[in-house]
Amino acid sequence: MSIQEKLNIISTSLGNIKQAIINKGSTISGNITTYADAISGIISITAQSKTVTPTTTTQTVTPDSNYNALSSVTVNGVDSSIDPNIVAENIKSGVNILGISGNVTELSGQTKTVTPMTSSQTITPDTGYNGITSVTIDGVTSAIDSNIQAENIKSGVSILGVTGTMPSAGKYGVTVEDVVGIIDNNGSLQPTTNQLNLTFLGLKTFNGRSLEYKFRDLGNIYTITFPDLECDTITNCLAHTFEYCQNLTTINFSKLDRLTNWAPFEYTFNHCTSLTTVAFPLLKTVTAYSAFNYCFSDCTNLTNIDFSSLEQIGNNTSSGYHSHFVNCFYNCTNLASITFPKLEKIYCTGSSMTNGTFANNNKVKKLYFPKLDTITYGSGASTSNQTACKNIFYGCTSLTEIHFGAANQAAIEATAGYSTAWGATNATVYFDL
């Protein structure tokens, strides 16, 4: 090898050394002394490996204080913990985000408009929708009820935008001319033919005044409502009041809850042959003597009667309380059965069989008393005043079935009069309710 070739090898080696030093981060000139200084100044590497968990913000990874380099960085995989909102109830059904499958059904919403009615409405989405985003409810107008007409509303009163033109005519909403008729120029009575539906608004008690006989034998009365009457306050308050009103079909005492005075309904609806429906939905106690005597006698079309709240008949006293429903349903040929769903106690104190509580209701065939557990005369009643209690169904010649609650069998069988079906000679007693 020539001297020149050796010099070339040395030159090449020095060049490699220089480049290695530069690669380490030093800047040097080209002489050998400077190379030696640069090599001695190069710092030794102390490397660190690190592991990083990603977050929702950018991270810069550097070696810790005891290291001057990183040999490797391991970046963990991203999972649902990256965001607390990555839960099934926040993700659409059928979609998986970072390992979490959603269970939220996507809303296909609908807007709807509803016109109010007199009955409740349940608004649901139509086919093709799974929810309602808004419901517009139209304002209520007089169209809600076809009876909201000016002629049906008291003059000067506005109901849902309709101002009434009906003249006000006295306490009971009618004039004498409406109910009876007018006197013509010859002094003769010309009976009215107006069809009347009487509503006794605001009448809660009778305050010393009776309606006895007041509307008797008027053929133009069709319905009667006492929406506010709560109790009787005087004797004979409605005795004979609507007797022989032969076109009367319906009566309703929607708030009446007690009868305490003498004969409040005696003959009240006697011979109202068109009467079909009677309602006393809140009546709880009937302690008045002769309370309903002959009240519905000869009401041959009566089919429905409501005593759904009645709990007690009669008073627990020694004398004078009987005849509460005597002849009440006499000759009611279409009233085959009556149910008293809440009646628990019957007190009947009197000396005569004909004074029995339900005596002489000759067409009733079946009676139902699911809760009745007491049939007795009043406390301290003398022997002579026990007869009525033992014959509460005396004269009920068509009565064939009397039904009681099975739980009350022992109590009923122990009552006076049970062995003879309380005077109902053709009746069988059942404990099947």
Q: Where are the domains of the chain?
A: 1-41, 141-170
pLDDT by position in tens, the chain (length 433): 666 666 666 667 666 766 766 676 655 555 555 555 555 544 567 889 999 999 999 999 999 988 888 899 999 999 999 999 999 999 999 999 999 999 988 888 899 999 998 899 999 999 989 889 899 999 999 999 898 998 888 777 899 999 987 655 444 444 444 444 444 555 554 555 567 788 887 788 876 667 888 888 888 888 898 888 888 777 888 999 999 999 999 999 999 999 988 889 999 999 999 999 999 999 999 998 889 999 999 999 999 999 999 999 998 887 767 889 999 999 999 998 999 999 999 999 888 888 889 999 999 999 999 999 999 998 888 888 899 999 999 999 999 999 999 999 999 999 989 999 999 999 999 999 9
Q: How far apart are CA 192 and CA 180, in angstroms?
A: 6
Query: What pLDDT shows up at residue 179?
Result: 46
Angle of CA points 90, 95, 98, to nearest 5°: 80
Query: What pLDDT shows up at residue 176?
Result: 43
Query: What pLDDT shows up at residue 372?
Result: 96
Query: What pLDDT shows up at residue 21?
Result: 65
Buried/exposed code over 60-96 (b: 16+ C-beta within 10 A; e: otherwise): eeeeeeeeeeeeeeeeeeeeeeeeeebeeeebeeeee
Query: What pLDDT shows up at residue 407?
Result: 97
Cα→Cα distances 130→101, 108, 135, 405, Å: 21, 5, 14, 50
Count the Cβ atoms, other than its own, within 10 Å of residue 183. Answer: 11
CB neighbour list of residue 422: distance below 8 Å, 6 or more residues apart: 356, 375, 390, 391, 392, 393, 394
Query: What pLDDT shows up at residue 307?
Result: 95
Please state whether the predicted TM-score (pTM) of the whole model is above 0.85.
no
Query: What pLDDT shows up at residue 27?
Result: 57
- What does 189-258 look like in DSSP terms, one character per residue? EEE----EEEE-TT----TT---TTTTTT-TTEEEEE-SS--B--STTTTTTTTTT-TT--EEE-SS--E
